[in-house]
Structure formats: C-alpha cells, structure tokens
Amino acid sequence: MATSSSPLPFLLIMMSLLIISCWVLATSASNFYQDFDISWGDGRAKILNNGDLLTLSLDKPSGSGFQSKNEYLFGKIDVQLKLVPGNSAGTVTAYYLSSQGPTHDEIDFEFLGNLSGDPYILHTNVFGQGKGNREQQFYLWFDPTANFHTYSVLWNPKHIIFSVDGTPIREFKNLESIGVRYPKDQPMRIYSSLWNADDWATRGGLVKTDWTQAPFTASYRNFNANACIWSSGASSCSSSSNNSNAWLAEELDSTSQQKLKWVRNNYMIYNYCTDSKRFPQGLPPECVA
Ligand SMILES: *[C@@H]1O[C@H](CO)[C@@H](O)[C@H](O)[C@H]1NC(C)=O
Ligand SMILES: *[C@@H]1O[C@H](CO)[C@@H](O)[C@H](O)[C@H]1NC(C)=O
C-alpha cells in the first residue's frame, strides 16, 4: 500500500531514535573508561562490560585502586558498590574524595571487612586543610556483599551529606563561623582502593586476613557525578546563569532528618563527638555547637 503519509512509521522511527539516544546517555553517564583511570594493582583492577562494571581485587602481593580523571569542586556523587563477600576480615575497601598535599581536604567512606556473617563497619571521616579526626562508624541495615547498594556524597558549600541507598547517615555542616575547617577551596579527585589492613581493620586488628580466601573482589557500577568539574583553575559551575545545579543548595528536609536520626539511633557505633576521653582539652567545636 502506498499510504506512506501515515504518521505511524515516522512516529515509530522517532521513538526508537529517542530510546537509542536515552540509552546512550544513560550508559555514558556511568562509563568507567570515560571517568576513571586504574591507578595501581598491576592488572588486579579491571574495567569490564564496555565500561559498565569495575572490579578491584586483593591478594597477598597487592591490592588495587582507581582514580577519577576529573577533579571536582562540589558535587553530588553516587556509586553502587558490592563489597567483598564471605570472609573479608582484614580487608578495607576505601572510596573517597581527596585533594593533594599536606593541607589536603578529604571525604571518606571506608568499608572494614569481617568474618562471614559478622557485620562490616562503614567508617566515615572528613578532613579540612589536613586535619581529620572526625570519625563516625556505622553498621549497615543490610548485607552489603549480597547486592549492589548506592553510596553517595553530597558536597556543597554548606553541607557534606553521606548517604546509603538514599538514606542520610551523616551530615557535616560548614561551621567555619565558629572556627571549624570545612573543605571548600581545594578541588578533589575520587579515589578507591581495596587493600590489606589487618593490623587494625577487623576488631581492632585481632582478626587477620585469611589469604586462603584470596583473591578478594569488590565491584562497582552506575557511577554518577552531578558535579562541578575543575579544570585549569575554573569550575564548570561558575556560570551564574546555570540553574541546573539545585544540589548546590540542597540540605536535609524533615523526612531526611528523621531518617538520619533513625540511622544514628540504631546503627551508629562510634562518634568522635561523644569520645571525650580522646579530647581531654574539650570536644571539637562542631560537637558542642
Ligand atoms: C566484626 O564482627 C564483630 C563481632 O560481631 C564486631 O564486634 C565488629 O564490630 C565487626 N566489624 C569489624 C570491622 O570489626
Ligand atoms: C550547567 O551545569 C550543568 C550540570 O553541571 C553542566 O553540564 C553545564 O555545562 C553547565 N552550563 C554552563 C553554561 O555552565
């Protein structure tokens, strides 16, 4: 039939083009080849499935790691992570943002492994101009080795919010007004590594890595950075006419504050702010603010 004036084939073509372009956008948003370099580990870190998946592994001779190609100055950054399963005692999977040098800034997630069936610890810390000592530790409300879960950092000029599957677990506010160092002037790269830390990681170093279980493997997917990229001294967000960066002003709403409270009440196992033995001259100012 010569009814080529029918709009149906045209619509079908347009729809498939749309679907194809959405697919391209979605995959390019999480392509490890595009966003990261393998930085160490002599072949133990691998980018697989056309860039959709990254795996790190650790055996007795070495761990492995990767780092972002970009430096960022503020961002809302997500990644999905499936941790070392089984007996992961002694291993640490670190995922963090950091700048360079002795007065560096840093925002840390570290996952401390454990014996099969015993809980991982999620260790967090924030460094401002070289000064850390702001650890908070948590158990998770799920087994982080069974499936991928999303670990996020929202870092803007006013807040740093650590989240797990969209549930905030920690907020670090900008309290420069009362003398607390806050990371806001140094662009940071994203780093991740899997390494042996059996001198301290599991039950304070009591449980050692069982090398008969090696290699240990952690997997990453769906990296997404809604972030200001820093390059040659300028930020991709510096254009004041840019309204697409709502996260730059984002803060916890009341529902999120309730969730944060739930995590703190039920899953927080260490908080530097309540460790007065460690700060005999008085707790840091943000703890009493
Ligand atoms: C490992 O399991 C033990 C026993 O349940 C627990 O005390 C400890 O906090 C867990 N995590 C780590 C990293 O040690
Ligand atoms: C606006 O922000 C988006 C998201 O960060 C970025 O991709 C885009 O390049 C920015 N546009 C301008 C004009 O800076």
Can the peptide bond before residue 7 be classed as cis, meaning omega within 30 degrees of 0?
no
Checking if the pLDDT of 110 tops 50, the result is yes
Over residues 225-254, mean pLDDT: 86
Q: What is the per-residue pLDDT for 91?
A: 98
Amino acid at 186: Q
Beta strands in 59-215 (DSSP E): 64-68, 71-82, 91-98, 106-112, 121-127, 136-138, 149-155, 159-164, 167-173, 189-196
Which of the residue ranges 155-159, 210-214, 230-234 would you say has the lowest mean pLDDT? 230-234
Q: What is the per-residue pLDDT for 238?
A: 78
pLDDT tens per residue across span 131-170: 999 999 999 999 999 999 999 999 999 999 999 999 999 9
Confidence of residue 285 (pLDDT cuts 50, 70, 90): very high
Give distance in angstroms: CA of 241 to centre of ligand 2.
9
Is 118 close to ligand 1, i.e. is its CB under 6 Å away?
yes
pLDDT tens per residue across span 28-52: 457 999 999 999 999 999 999 999 9
Ligand (nearest to CA of 92): 1
**Joined tokens for residue 131:** 């000064």
Helix (H, G, I), strand (E, B) or coil at 82: strand
- Where in the sequence numbering do the catalytic residues fall? 106, 110
Residue of the CA atom closest to atom 5 of ligand 1: 118
Regarding pTM above 0.85, the answer is: yes
Is 119 close to ligand 1, i.e. is its CB under 6 Å away?
yes
Nearest to 269 by CA among 127, 141, 144: 141
Sign of CA dihedral 204, 207, 212, 213: negative
Half-sphere exposure of 279 (CA within 13 A, CB side): 15
Percentage of the chain surpassing pLDDT 90? 85
Checking if the pLDDT of 21 tops 70, the result is no
Checking if the pLDDT of 119 tops 60, the result is yes
C-alpha–C-alpha distance, residues 145 and 81, integer Å: 9
Name residues whose C-beta falls within 8 Å of residue 217's C-beta, 6 or more positions apart in sequence: 55, 56, 57, 58, 84, 194
Give distance in angstroms: CA of 206 to centre of ligand 1.
10
Which of the residue ranges 116-125, 208-217, 237-246, 277-286 would you say has the lowest mean pLDDT? 237-246
Sketch the domain layout of the chain as residue ranges: 32-234+244-288
Give distance in angstroms: CA of 199 to centre of ligand 1.
14
pLDDT tens per residue across span 163-206: 999 999 999 999 999 999 999 999 999 999 999 999 999 999 99
The answer regarding whether domain 32-234+244-288 maps to CATH 2.60.120.200 reads: yes
Is 210 close to ligand 1, i.e. is its CB under 6 Å away?
no
Average pLDDT, rounded, for the chain: 91
Q: Phi then psi for 146, rounded to 5 degrees?
A: -80, -35
